[in-house]
Amino acid sequence: MKDKIAEKLLLFIAFSAIGSLLLITFFIFQQGIPLIFKIGLSNFFSMHWSPTRGQFGILSMIIGSLMVTVGALIVGIPFGLACAIYLAEFSSKMVQKTLKPIIELLAGIPSVVYGFIGIVILVPFIRTHFGGPGFSVLASSIILGIMILPTIVSISYDSLVAVPNTYREGSYALGATKWQTVVKLLIPAARSGIVAGIILGMGRAIGETMAVIMVAGNALKIPHSILDSVRTLTSTIALELGYATGDHRAALFACGAFLFIIITILNIIAIRVTGHRE
Amino acid sequence: MTFRIGPRTSQIIAYIILLLMTIITIIVLFFIIGYVFKNGFAQLSLEFLTDRTREMGKEGGILPSIIGTLFVTVLAVIIATPLGVGSAVYLVEYTRGGLLRRIISFGADCLAGVPSIIFGLFGFIFFVIQLKLGWSILSGSLTLAVMIIPTIIRTSEEAIKAVPLSYREISYSLGGGKLDTIWKVVLPTSLPGILTGVILGIGRAIGETAAVIFTAGSSLGMPTSVFSSTRTLAVHFYILAREGISMEKAYGTATVLIIIILFVNFVAYRLMHRFMERYY
Amino acid sequence: MRYLAIVCMLLLTTCSQRKGGIIIAGSTSVQPFIERVAERFTEENPGIQVNVQGGGSTAGIQATFNNICHIGVSSRNLKGSEKALHEFLIAVDGIAIIVHKDNPIDDLTIEQIQGIFAGTHKDWSELGGESGEIIPVTREEGSGTRGAFEDMVMGDQIISDACLVQDSNGAVREIIATTPQGIGYISVGLVDEREKALAIDGVKPTLANLLSSQYGFTRPFLLLLLEEPSGKVKKFIEFALSKKGQDILKSDGLISVTEIGK
Amino acid sequence: MNRQKMMKISVEQLNLFYGQNQVLKNVSLEVYEKEILGVIGPANAGKSSLLRALNRLYEIDYARISGKIRLDGEDIFDIPINDLRRRVGLIFATPVVLPGTIFKNMSYGLKLHRKIKKQELNDIVADALKAANLWEEVKDRLYESASTLSGGQQQRLCIARTLAMNPEVIMMDEPCSGLDPISTAKIEATMLELKKTYTFILVTNNTKQAARTADRTAFFLAGELIEINKTEKIFTKPDDPRTDDYIRGRFG
């Protein structure tokens, strides 16, 4: 009897939790999609964003998000991977034991702190040494790149460590150096974990909002160089949500829905790659 | 002209490059915290921590924000934990790993990666406007709860799945019912994993800006009820820094924020270690 | 079970307190000023907590209609159906065009400003300044300040996509204060010593010029109500319009309503 | 002995399926009170499945069953499941101690069934540990983690944990498979002592163990009960040649 009630209660809990997640998904799409049909795809994927004048083109923001994300990966992948490889293969147990948890702790630092460092150090530095406003693709990429480092390091490290030791021993037995073993054997063997880490980092970079608003400058024009200001999908939502009504608000939801789809695709790829779910 | 680089040489070069990049990575990450702390510690005083915020944050302390953060986070966790853990229990113990469970796990996986601004967008229109909860601690907590539920479901599910089947068999063969088994064997055993998920969620909630600024609002008043609007530490810091209201106060606030988050994560880490040592 | 109990208790013990405070929401431009008024008001009426939200003029108007806040604030005039709300003018604000304090330029014509924000003027040397790329900073789409700027300054010109976009007066000011080639627009009352307010067509945005309407780039700060004011809300509005309230606003660089008639 | 012994458990035409896979085929047998029934047979003979059927533990594996099982003449499906499992205890091949102290392991099952006073609980725990020959070794460390015990001690803790429930039948699923000869001897001694009070079903891979301890022995092969008889008979002149082959080590 008690068991029956408990099962029903748990079922109810599961449904309300999952219901709330469904609600969010449904809500975002329900608010955003009608506008896309109303204005047409060609308007939605055009260059001009000026919702108060009826122009809802999000293409420049898509490009902006893309540039910033690619930039972040260019910064984050080499350093993240190098750090993971060094920690997993070249450092002593002691170093591993201290640095790994510290890097994981750093993953918890709020993104606004990264954005703040961007404002006070990086933006003035870029402005005085490279020119332009300083608020730029470059600044955003570096800040996001640093932000996703802990994610990439942590997951890549785990998957490198998970490669069985027999692989390494076999490779050394054939006379390979440590570095050759890493390049020829360990990285391919740990590939799926590394790729998953990168994709998760990528998702974080695309989705980041506040840090990007702080350092990107948010100009709508498509940047011609990495020193130009840039606007991403997320920053558009955050910048304009407070003022938006009617179609303008619906357009922000449409941005959200679009973002949602992109992130979901990335997640699906990440899940597929790792074969994480049975 | 071509050089042939032997395997030894390339090993040494690679080692040096890796070491350098690792050092740079570590330095950069430490620099960020160090820089904030260096400028922020001077701001920390009893007055800063216990005074009201005045002049939009130019003067006074950050007590309302500390309390607001506490309120929002605790309420979010109170809402999200039973829902998340309950769902995970249901998924693992009652669904026999069928299609339903796969779909739900997949959904939770996906939603765990959805950017927080989307939750902010949802929370603002749904809780604040449609449910007329206004900018309030309640709206903020509900939004954050929805945001951290997927994380809690996923980590709890993994932790519960990791409990050996034999523990359940023992419990059943000693005459325990399903509920007894879940409550007295499965949950206590998977507690460290569940706790990790919850604490990750707490960390995310404390540091969150985008989802909170549109739902809990940005009022500087002292929160008196769950219907009060509040400005969490992260939001306060964001506004101070971005609008250049007071860089000194911004550093101080960031320092407090980082200390709290590092502390929460550290406690989680210790707690897990203690637990593991005792039981495994 | 315990969870439910805690949640219920929180809700119950606090429900009643909702009546104790006043929630004000809307224009981020008005927020800093109304915050100061609210601070004084609470000092004099310790029982009444005042919560001041940002969000934006339009959000404030919406919130007032939806009864999410007691008082909405707008930094632009009401349009169309919005006029159903009760409005109280508490002050008038000038919009200043600001540049970095080291910028040698003191004066621009309205055409030059239009040119800068429309993207036709790209270098300070075109305007008689030191050579260097102009970095214009504007407010986000939908902002009351941007709306006012477009109406009063831009006319039929459209603000270029190349402008940086920030979502508050403070954020614009912060960029101008730290960027030597920047130019932007914010409330006159918020200009501080790190940046410089330009004269437009030779008229500086001084208090005297604002009062005499010589400097024409002004907009109203409105308090909005769904119903006739009563109780604590009435008390607050009366306070804002009293000499004490108006003095606070005046000392912050706004034009008090008592002076407008003159 | 000439009179019919009291029948404890009777199994009639028992079939057990895991999905499409039938692991028990038409098994009928009886278990008498206060005997040790040995169950032998090669891997996948259905020995463990028989035990899981008797206390309805197969249900958590989502297996299906047909046939009749009676405990003291009462259909086990009419007995509340928690009661059944308390009365018919099961001890697994690998000792599984629950996370927590020795005392917590011992009291876990007891606390599930009724409110119990601290003093009474202490007594029951002490008695059960004594009965399982473990008391002397653990009496000073009841509040230490159970996982600090050795394998043999853990297995005896599992037995004690079951004894504390005051069961009627104790089923053991290869209880000594992971243990050294000395621990095995201790457990066998315990079992022979407890036979005075309890009924045992002992599943074992070790035919010699069955020969040493069991009163009667059943031989299973591929889900079928080939033969059940007095232990001496099974081990000296079995009726079925397959039993003989198995005992002589020709297969399995």
Residues of chain A with Cβ-Cβ distance to B257 below 8 Å are 110, 113
Say how far apart CA D60 and CA A56 lie, in whole Å.
Answer: 56
- Domain holding A27, by residue range, is 2-277
pLDDT of chain D, 252 residues: tens digit per residue? 444 568 889 999 999 998 888 999 999 999 999 999 999 998 888 898 999 999 888 887 778 899 999 999 899 999 888 889 889 999 888 888 887 889 988 988 888 777 888 899 999 999 999 988 889 888 899 898 888 888 888 988 998 999 888 899 999 998 888 788 888 898 898 889 888 889 999 999 888 899 999 999 999 999 999 999 999 999 998 999 999 889 888 765
List D219's β-bridge partners, or say none.
D40, D227
Q: What percent of chain D has pLDDT over 70?
A: 97
Predicted confidence (pLDDT) at residue B147 exceeds the cutoff of 80: yes
Query: Which residues, numbered 10 to 29 in chain A, qualify as contacts with chain B under a Cβ-Cβ cut-off of 8 Å?
Result: 10-11, 13-14, 16-18, 20-25, 27-28
Ramachandran area for residue B256 (φ above 0: left; ψ -120 to 50: alpha; else beta): alpha
- Tell if the CB–CB gap between D94 and B166 is shorter than 8 Å: yes
d(Cα B143, Cα B154) in Å, to the nearest integer?
18
Interchain contact, D112 vs B96, CB within 8 Å: no
Q: Hunting for tokens 């024409």 — which residue is that?
A: C216
| Interface predicted TM-score of the whole assembly (ipTM), two decimals | 0.82
Q: Which residues of B touch C68 (CB under 8 A)?
A: 128-129, 132, 134-135
Residue D182 burial by Cβ neighbours in a 10 Å radius (0-12, 13-18, 19+) = exposed
Predicted confidence at residue C1, as pLDDT, reads 46
C58 vs A: CB within 8 A: yes
For residue B68, the distance in angstroms to the closest alpha carbon of chain A comes to 17
Q: Minimal CA–CA distance to A176: which of B11, B228, B172, B264?
A: B11
Cβ–Cβ of D112/B278 closer than 8 Å? Answer: no
Domain count, chain A: 1
- Tell me the residues of chain B between 32 and 71 that have a Cβ less than 8 Å away from chain C: 54-56
Q: Does A264 touch chain B (CB under 8 A)?
A: yes
C contacts of A60 (beta carbons < 8 Å): 161
Please list every residue in chain A whose beta carbon sits closer than 8 Å to the beta carbon of residue C162. Answer: 219-221, 229
**B81, closest residue in chain C (CA to CA):** C3
CA-based R_g, chain D, Å: 18
Residue A51 near residue C141 (C-beta atoms within 8 A): yes
The closest of C141, C144, C126 to C28, measured between CA atoms, is C144
What stretches of chain B show up as alpha helix (H) in DSSP? 7-40, 46-50, 63-94, 99-112, 116-123, 137-161, 165-173, 178-180, 187-207, 210-213, 233-242, 247-279
Q: Point out the residue among B10, B117, B238 whose CB comes nearest to the CB of A112.
A: B238
| Cβ pair B166:D147 closer than 8 A | no
**Chain C residues close to A248, C-beta within 8 Å:** 141-142
Assign A50 to helix, strand or coil.
strand
CB C21 within 8 A of CB C242: no
Please tell me which of the candidates A217, A229, A240 has its beta carbon nearest to residue C142: A240
The partner residue sitting opposite D85, judged by closest CB among B172, B184, B189, is B172
- Stated as kind and residue range, the H or E segment containing A27 is helix A2-39
pLDDT, residue C130, reads: 87
Are C166 and A218 inside 8 Å of each other by CB?
Answer: yes
Chains that touch C (3 or more CB pairs under 8 A): A, B
Is D81 touching B (CB cutoff 8 A)? Answer: yes
CATH number of the domain where residue A25 is located: 1.10.3720.10
The reply to whether B227 touches chain C by the CB within 8 Å rule is yes
Mean pLDDT score, C104-118: 93
Q: Do B244 and C69 touch (CB under 8 A)?
A: no
Share of chain C above pLDDT 90, in %: 31
Judge whether residue C2 has pLDDT over 70. Answer: no
At A67, the amino acid letter reads M
CATH topology for D3-247 is Rossmann fold (3.40.50)
Mean pLDDT of C132-136: 92
Q: Which of C141, C144, C161 sits opposite A219 (nearest CB)?
A: C161
Would you call C28 and A239 a contact, using CB atoms and an 8 Å cutoff?
A: no
Of C59, C133, C166, the CB nearest to A243: C59
Q: Is B275 a residue whose pLDDT tops 70?
A: no
Comparing CB atoms, the residue among C140, C165, C179 nearest residue A243 is C140
A to B CB pairs, distance under 8 Å: 244
- φ, ψ of residue B156 in degrees (nearest 5): -65, -40
C200 vs B: CB within 8 A: no
**Subunits that touch chain A (at least 3 Cβ pairs < 8 angstroms)?**
B, C
Judge residue D220's burial from the number of C-beta atoms within 10 Å of its C-beta, 0-12 exposed, 13-18 middle, 19 or more buried.
buried
With CA atoms as reference, the chain C residue closest to B218 would be C53
Q: Is the pLDDT of residue C18 over 60?
A: no
Nearest to D106 by CA among D152, D151, D143, D51: D143
The answer to whether C113 and C153 have CB atoms below 8 angstroms apart is yes
Tokens (6 digits) for A169: 């021993």
**Nearest alpha-carbon partner for A150 in A92, A115, A96, A101:** A101
Question: At D168, is the secondary structure helix, strand, or coil?
Answer: coil
Shortest Cα distance, chain B CAs vs residue D90, angstroms:
6
* C76-106 confidence digits (pLDDT tens): 888 888 888 999 999 988 899 999 999 999 9
What's the confidence (pLDDT) of residue C13? 44
Contacts of C49 in chain B (CB under 8 A): 221-222, 224, 228
The answer to whether residue B228 neighbours chain C at the CB level (below 8 Å) is: yes
Distance, in angstroms, between C143 CA and closest chain A CA?
6
Task: Name the residue of chain A whose CA is nearest to B253's CA.
Answer: A113
Nearest to B86 among A13, A86, A149 (CB): A13
Residues above pLDDT 70, as percent of chain C:
91
Task: Mutate one of C51, C52, C193, C194 to test the B interface: name it (highest B CB count within 10 A).
Answer: C51
Residues in chain B closer than 8 A to C60 (CB atoms): none
Which among A13, A77, A89 is the top mutation candidate for probing chain B, defined by the most B β-carbons within 10 Å of its own β-carbon?
Answer: A13
D with C: touching (≥3 Cβ pairs within 8 Å): no
Instruction: Say yes or no: C8 contacts chain B, CB-CB below 8 A.
Output: no
Structure tokens at D152: 């043999």
How do residues B181-192 score in pLDDT, each as one tens digit?
A: 898 889 988 888
The chains found to touch D (3+ Cβ pairs under 8 angstroms) are B
Closest CA to C70 of C254, C189, C232: C232
Q: What pLDDT shows up at residue C182?
A: 93
Q: Tell how many helices (H) and how many strands (E) occur in chain A.
A: 14, 2
Q: How confident is the model at residue B23 (pLDDT cuts 50, 70, 90)?
A: very high
Cβ neighbors of B124 (< 8 A, separation 6 or more) are: A241, B214, B215
User: Average pLDDT for residues C98-120, to the nearest whole number?
Assistant: 93
pLDDT at A156: 92
Tens place of pLDDT per residue across chain A (278 aa) = 677 888 888 888 888 888 888 899 899 999 999 999 998 888 888 888 888 888 899 999 999 999 999 999 999 999 999 999 999 989 888 998 888 888 877 788 899 999 999 999 999 999 999 988 899 999 999 999 999 999 899 889 989 998 888 888 888 888 888 888 898 889 998 988 898 889 888 988 999 999 999 999 999 999 999 999 999 999 999 998 877 778 888 999 999 999 999 988 888 888 777 765 43
Question: How far is C197 from D1, CA to CA, in rounded Å?
Answer: 114
pLDDT tens, D35-87? 999 999 988 888 989 999 998 888 877 788 999 999 998 999 998 888 898 89
Distance in Å, alpha carbon of A113 to nearest chain C alpha carbon: 16
Q: Does B220 contact C at CB distance below 8 Å?
A: yes
How far is it, in rounded angstroms, from Cα B241 to Cα C48?
A: 30
By C-alpha distance, the chain D residue nearest B177 is D82
The yes-or-no verdict on residue C48 having pLDDT over 60 is yes
Query: In this predicted model, what pLDDT tens digit does every residue of B72-108 receive, in sequence order?
Result: 999 999 999 999 999 999 988 888 767 777 777 778 8
- C54: chain A residues, CB-CB within 8 Å: 242
Pairwise CA distance, residues A215 & A124, whole Å = 10
